[in-house]
Structure 1
Amino acid sequence: MLGALGLSTDQESVYRRLVGRTAASSADLADATHLPEATVRAALSQLVADGLVKRTPDGEFSAAPPAVALGALISERRDGLHTAELALVTLAEEHRVAMAGRSINELIEVVTGVDGIRHRFAQVQHAARTQVRNFVTAPFVAVPPGTNTLETVMMDRGVTYRVVLERAALAEPGMIAETVASLRKGVQVRVVESLPIKLVLADAELGLVPLTVESGGEPGAVLLHRSGLLSAMDALFEIVWRHAHPLDVSALAGLTDDDDVTAADAGAPTELDRKILALLLAGLTDHVVANQLDISLRTLQRRLRHLMDIAGVKTRMELGWYAARHNWA
């Protein structure tokens, strides 16, 4: 826990043992921590230098008050981070100016291998100051559903996420749960029939474009710095976003909950009906929707016929229009 303040595991262990005592010798602390006494002495030496521990007149050691000693370290770290942030602004501007005169080879970086792509994917997100935009398509090679832990971290820092999903991706295992979790965190998610590429954008500064993987080939990606090509990717995302269908967490949440598929208000859709409509409007096939909701294909089709009767329509397209106008999905 104190590693963030620069303490090693041994130093933290010794300090924690010492905090609960008025004073102790290095031998006592070695017994309490089960560490070699030489290791304890080295830890104590550094803790004394950092002001966390002091020597007593009889040669033992006592912990400085944590609120004072650790508070000072936290303040130093906070000041250091502030200084680093100021330096980042300056360095980023210097980099931007330098990039303006670079050749196309310097503006485009080829990344190979799953680990390399995953690392760059994290770096691109870290670089964002206002928003991350993402095209998601199947198959998932470097970042499977549920593995992008940075999404929560960056959103806590105020970064906005906008994601466009290819409809086929929603049928992948774990993708519905991942989408619901993202929607609940505040990620804006839309869906389209198909996407031309995978894409991740950090503001208008960086872009990562995974390349098509041949069977048995090594995955690759292209990292784009600010350039005309990156501007084109920016424009492509916004065009696709404007025409994509928004997904709503209220319709998708609880897809594994049990629903009574027979008892319903004859004049209104049930919760299960709303989930069926939401997934069908997202473009999933009957078979995929039935599998996601863990119901039979026959049950799904029976519910759809019932909804068409309620709406007084004859086709699914008419049902979709009716559902949209009456907030059914």
Structure 2
Amino acid sequence: MHTDDRRAADLEELGLTNYEARVYLALIRRDVFTAAEVAREAQVPRQRVYDVLEGLTRRQLAVLHPGKVAGYSAVAPEVAVDRLMEQQRRSLGRLERLSDDLARELLPTWDSGRTHTDPLDYVEVLRDAADISDRFARIQSEAERELLSFSRPPWVTPSENVAGFEASARLHAAGRTVRSLYSQDVLDDPVMLEVVRRFGEVGEEIRIAESLPLKLIVADGSTVLCDMPDPVARAGATTSLVIRHPSLAETLRMAFQSIWEQSPTLDEALKLREAATVRDAAAASAAAGAEGGAAARSAAEGGSAAVGGA
């Protein structure tokens, strides 16, 4: 990291904004700067530098020199750091008092809540399509370590799953796990096949299962979202369950892993499909040839019988 960037980051840790840190670092390079000069030196927008300088002056980290053209200078670094530390100590003291008061106020409510439990507090039932879509996006966006999913028709279009695309890229970049099992139906859908390839390009690991019983996503080994097609309601109706239960999530992770290990990659599945198509074509051609040969033999035998009869 560039030295000034590191110093600015340290000043931000002490409570300055990025612009304030950059302007202070510029001010210490010379005795006095005008606002325009320090804006150029610190690479801060001209329209913002006046507010930044006013803030530093108010916090006693810079000194204003009035005149026809006002100038500004920095206080000595050791003084500035001491003042920032003192401001942090005061802020920390206020937070400690606030947290103590808040804890005392909330404790009675928390205690009374221990007397009420609902065995299904960890299960949420969703039936509205918009609610299901929103929760699906949130689960993907909030995943920090792992996303595992069963994907089968009806497919979610890319415009409906921007969060999934971004989550795949984010988790992959962080060295985390993002894996999807797609049912073989995807091989017959050119549009969806292209979508799957796009997910693979940003880091999603992909395999093709022979069949999948339902659509499912498991996030961070603790949260499960699954679609449960309604066998009674109108065709296409579905109910989604959000279940926050680590034991259930772990069981489904094991099921996912079992199917994953038995399933080919997307490229392998496409090669297997192509080979099967070639075999089927060859078998059909052989069958047609055999039928043609049998018909020819039958015609020849019929002709010989006719000659003999004559």
Q: What TM-score do the two structures reach when normalised by structure 2?
A: 0.50
In structure 1, distance between residues paired with 2:243 and 2:218? 9
1:44 aligns with 2:53: yes
**1:205 partner amino acid:** S
Alpha-carbon distance in 1 for matches of 2:245, 2:165: 24
CA gap 1:118/1:57 in 2 versus in 1, 3 angstroms: same
Contact 1:201 1:207 (C-alpha < 8 Å) held by counterparts: yes
Alignment correspondent of 1:188: 205
Q: Report the number of matched residues.
A: 228
Which structure's CA Rg is the greater one? 2
Q: How is 1:173-322 mapped onto 2 (pairs within 5 angstroms)?
A: 174-184=191-201, 186-212=203-229, 221-226=240-245, 229-248=248-267, 278-279=269-270, 281=272, 304=278, 314-315=282-283
SS of corresponding position for 2:165: coil
| SS in structure 2 of the partner of residue 105 of structure 1 | coil
Q: CA deviation at 1:201?
A: 0.9
Structure 1: runs of 5 or more not aligned:
77-100, 252-277, 287-303, 317-329
* Structure with greater helix share of residues: 2
1:203 CA displacement? 3.8
Percent identity, aligned pairs only? Answer: 19
Confirm or deny that 1:165 pairs with 2:173.
no
Give the superposition deviation at 1:224: 1.1
Give the distance between the partners of 2:254 and 2:260, measured in 1 at CA: 10
- Superposition RMSD in Å: 5.5
1:165 Cα deviation after fit: 0.7
Could you tell me which residue of structure 2 aligns to residue 61 of structure 1?
Answer: 72
Structure 2 unaligned blocks of 5 or more: 76-80, 89-115, 285-310
Specify the SS of the correspondent of 1:222: strand
Query: TM-score normalised to the size of structure 1?
Result: 0.48
Q: Whole-Å Cα distance in 2 between the matches of residues 283 and 144 of structure 1? A: 30
Q: CA deviation at 1:166?
A: 1.5
2: CA distance, partners of 1:282 / 1:145: 29
Aligned to 1:110: 125
Q: Distance in 1 between matches of 2:252 and 2:20?
A: 53
Deviation at 1:135, TM superposition (A): 0.9
Cα offset, 1:132, TM superposition: 2.0
